Chain A
């Protein structure tokens, strides 16, 4: 019983409360497709002036895969994604070509045949959330920003910002590891590093629910990295609320070396590990924002308001 009390004091958010108190209450089912279908997300994002990586091509049938080679010809580097995938599953990042083979981010070589097979699997629904047939997106490959290079292994990191009722409340940056196979997904062994909302500087991290201070593969220190263009990212994340109408939302933003921050995807069911990355209970942070009026306040003002509230409540 003492441990329950301690957890409550820390404001730890549990799975049941996440679903019952936040997702069910603030996320209207009807809005889910806006974030679950990446093709739809991309279309909405462009109308809300939220930058996203360009889609080179979308495949929706097995037949269309036949001239895959021609379609891919102009692109040296690209990402293959299921439109309705989850947890980064089914994503393959191709970083270049050599002797007609495609080089994957982890160094593996793929033939066209391999890629076609993988894409056929995506089409058959192997990676889709519901298991229904899916579409394949060929997308612009994000180039790793130099700031993140020492902390990234085989993949691109992204910044996850939790947006509650249109206010940014908590954030972390997720670095891929060898174990995660280049995917920035904590479930698969990526690490999450907490970000101080006010300064945009990283703190300690989490790997498989354990607190860490250095990258498990490279040994680089996690603490003290200032996230470039942090204010821009916060604004982008907050606009995600206006775009989706989802009150409890996770916005994943990658930092491209050339084009700056871009929204990779949005998530209506963001995970709970962010609490460990920030050493802060998410429940108590969300509570701060449950009664703040949001109607008619522009995104920029909401960011400023959120940072004020967090500042006031930080000891």
Chain B
């Protein structure tokens, strides 16, 4: 190889190495985004009974924050219009319109939550609060008995101090340790809680709020759900609302959970939905509508694009404005797939030009591997078998009908579509493959594949065809195995500049004039005869 080519190769490698070094070493951005561990779909389903009046039915909407990241939102109002108001006490969605017949509207969010440790509040001797906070000091509606019980308990638990942080902590310890948690109880009134010392999360949260407010600490109930995998399969992810608190201490709202024992800290399990609202039915506001919440964990090895994106933003470099991570999610997904193609081409060129594999069509193995990715491995390989069968049908049956090429191919194309229809229906009842959706592009490559297969069968016989078939399958399986390595996918997506290195690899392989491995086998007899 001459020097010019070497220089070109070095240049290409440098071209891909330089931005990687720049991003990771100079800007100090993580090498790749880390893997998501806590991704959930949370679905708010509203069953609406028919009624002639114009409706306005509310439901809580997760609010993005420093520990809740919204990834995707889908909804279907079944004819009802959706509005979302960003209230200070939580986002509220409203289905508006007339429901002439029964319907079920849904609002679905895919979100990620993380654990967050807030700074522990320091001493807080605040005597008076601004008007913004006075509403969180308002006393509750309590009867004489309840007030008496409260005073009795306060005598035991409230320390003699004006330090609100200390007071809040004392109340927290009492509600957390002395009141037993019983998840089966519903909204237990304060009197009963104090009597039995047993409460639901709502009861605990209510008690904490009341006790805080009586000590002049602004406090509020927080309602939400706990994102925890469910033991019982039948629940299908259906969730009860769970309550905890926030107390305004040392100039900040601090989360407090007297049920699971968190003070100024929230684990990733907490998904807050509404603040200072005692019951979700207050949000719904319609007697003929029923709200249910389902939450299910997304089993995925997706990477946190969001955080990486933030990191890129913070790095604030002109180069990063052009990162693929800045694109809309859907486009990102598409590009992720497209970026796999050159990787497959590296495998392909290696196997064809260095090892000496035979394949159908040049890029067929890479396309097949993408097809395996898109459906599932088992289906992909099974489908490959069907293709070979269809090819044989064309060869041994259709050929005899003496049809012109294009109509004959159209028959094959139609057979593929029929196969996919039949398969989809059978799959629906047998549930062999989950989320199977036939994609458009494989159908086209399928036809090309069958045509090539058929032609080769005619031209080069069964033996050579079988060899090419095996070569195609092996290369596509290797590509598939590589494509399935999520890490690799993310690295290429994060650093698309490695494509320049791929080009360098292609130049290297392209200028390799040595023997293909298969040729040692092919020409082995030359050695023997000497």
Tell me the A residues contacting B by CB distance below 8 Å.
3-4, 6-7, 10, 12, 14-17, 20-21, 87, 89, 113-114, 117, 120-121, 124-126, 179, 187-189, 206, 209-211, 272, 275-276, 279, 281
- Per the bound structure, the CA–CA distance linking A218 and B356 in Å amounts to 33
CB distance from A107 to the nearest CB of B (A): 19
**Cross-chain contact B461 with A279 (CB below 8 angstroms):** no
Contacts of A14 in B (CB 8 A): 513-516, 519
**Cross-chain contact A16 with B529 (CB below 8 angstroms):** no
From B406, B514, B522, B528, contact of A17 by CB (8 A):
B514
**Cross-chain contact A16 with B515 (CB below 8 angstroms):** yes
Q: Which of B455, B513, B527, B529 has the most CB of A within 10 A?
A: B513
Could you list 21 A-B pairs, sorted by A, with CB under 8 Å? Answer: A7-B515, A7-B523, A12-B515, A12-B526, A14-B516, A15-B519, A16-B512, A17-B514, A17-B515, A20-B513, A87-B460, A89-B459, A121-B405, A126-B455, A187-B464, A188-B461, A189-B461, A206-B525, A211-B525, A276-B523, A276-B526
Q: Which of A16, A121, A125 has the most CB of B within 10 A?
A: A16
**Cross-chain contact B404 with A275 (CB below 8 angstroms):** no
**Cross-chain contact B406 with A124 (CB below 8 angstroms):** yes
Contacts of A117 in B (CB 8 A): 402
Check if B511 is an interface residue, CB within 8 A of chain A. yes
Contacts of B523 in A (CB 8 A): 7, 12, 209, 272, 275-276
Beta-carbon nearest neighbor of A183 in chain B:
B459
- Per the bound structure, the CA–CA distance linking A16 and B508 in Å amounts to 12
Beta-carbon nearest neighbor of A180 in chain B:
B461
Known: A14-B515, A272-B523, A275-B523. 6 other contacts (CB 8 A): A7-B520, A14-B513, A17-B515, A87-B460, A189-B461, A206-B525
Contacts of B512 in A (CB 8 A): 16, 20
Given contacts A16-B353, A121-B405, whether A275 and B515 have CB atoms under 8 Å apart is no
**Cross-chain contact B529 with A15 (CB below 8 angstroms):** no
Beta-carbon nearest neighbor of A126 in chain B:
B405
**Cross-chain contact A16 with B513 (CB below 8 angstroms):** yes
CB distance from A66 to the nearest CB of B (A): 14
Beta-carbon nearest neighbor of B403 in chain A:
A117
CB distance from A61 to the nearest CB of B (A): 13
Check if B530 is an interface residue, CB within 8 A of chain A. yes
Contacts of B458 in A (CB 8 A): 89
Beta-carbon nearest neighbor of A210 in chain B:
B525
**Cross-chain contact A275 with B526 (CB below 8 angstroms):** yes
Beta-carbon nearest neighbor of A16 in chain B:
B513
From A16, A113, A121, A279, contact of B516 by CB (8 A):
A16
- Per the bound structure, the CA–CA distance linking A126 and B457 in Å amounts to 13
- Per the bound structure, the CA–CA distance linking A12 and B530 in Å amounts to 13
Contacts of A125 in B (CB 8 A): 405
- Per the bound structure, the CA–CA distance linking A17 and B458 in Å amounts to 29
Interface residues of B toward A: which range? Answer: 20 to 34
- Per the bound structure, the CA–CA distance linking A7 and B522 in Å amounts to 12
**Cross-chain contact B529 with A279 (CB below 8 angstroms):** yes
Contacts of A20 in B (CB 8 A): 510-513
Beta-carbon nearest neighbor of B354 in chain A:
A16
**Cross-chain contact A6 with B514 (CB below 8 angstroms):** no
- List the 8 closest A-B pairs by CB distance, nearest first: A124-B405, A14-B515, A117-B402, A20-B513, A17-B513, A211-B525, A89-B459, A14-B519
Given contacts A126-B455, A188-B461, whether A10 and B516 have CB atoms under 8 Å apart is no
- Per the bound structure, the CA–CA distance linking A114 and B399 in Å amounts to 11
**Cross-chain contact B514 with A16 (CB below 8 angstroms):** yes
- Per the bound structure, the CA–CA distance linking A20 and B353 in Å amounts to 11
- Per the bound structure, the CA–CA distance linking A206 and B523 in Å amounts to 11
Given contacts A15-B356, A20-B511, whether A281 and B516 have CB atoms under 8 Å apart is no
CB distance from B207 to the nearest CB of A (A): 80
| Contact digits for B458-498, partner A, Cβ 8 Å, 1 yes 0 no | 11110010000000000000000000000000000000000
**Cross-chain contact A12 with B402 (CB below 8 angstroms):** no
CB distance from A192 to the nearest CB of B (A): 13
CB distance from B458 to the nearest CB of A (A): 8
Beta-carbon nearest neighbor of B511 in chain A:
A20
Contacts of A126 in B (CB 8 A): 405, 455
Q: Which of A6, A14, A209 has the most CB of B within 10 A?
A: A14
**Cross-chain contact A279 with B526 (CB below 8 angstroms):** yes
**Cross-chain contact A12 with B511 (CB below 8 angstroms):** no
CB neighbors of A among B435-454 (8 A): none
CB distance from B395 to the nearest CB of A (A): 13
- Per the bound structure, the CA–CA distance linking A10 and B524 in Å amounts to 11
Contacts of B528 in A (CB 8 A): 211
Contacts of B519 in A (CB 8 A): 7, 12, 14-15
CB distance from B141 to the nearest CB of A (A): 84
Contacts of A120 in B (CB 8 A): 404
- Per the bound structure, the CA–CA distance linking A20 and B459 in Å amounts to 26
Contacts of B406 in A (CB 8 A): 124
CB distance from A224 to the nearest CB of B (A): 18
Contacts of B511 in A (CB 8 A): 20
CB distance from A282 to the nearest CB of B (A): 10
From B514, B522, B526, contact of A10 by CB (8 A):
B526
CB neighbors of A among B345-368 (8 A): 353, 356
- Per the bound structure, the CA–CA distance linking A199 and B171 in Å amounts to 112
- Per the bound structure, the CA–CA distance linking A209 and B528 in Å amounts to 13
Contacts of A15 in B (CB 8 A): 356, 516, 519
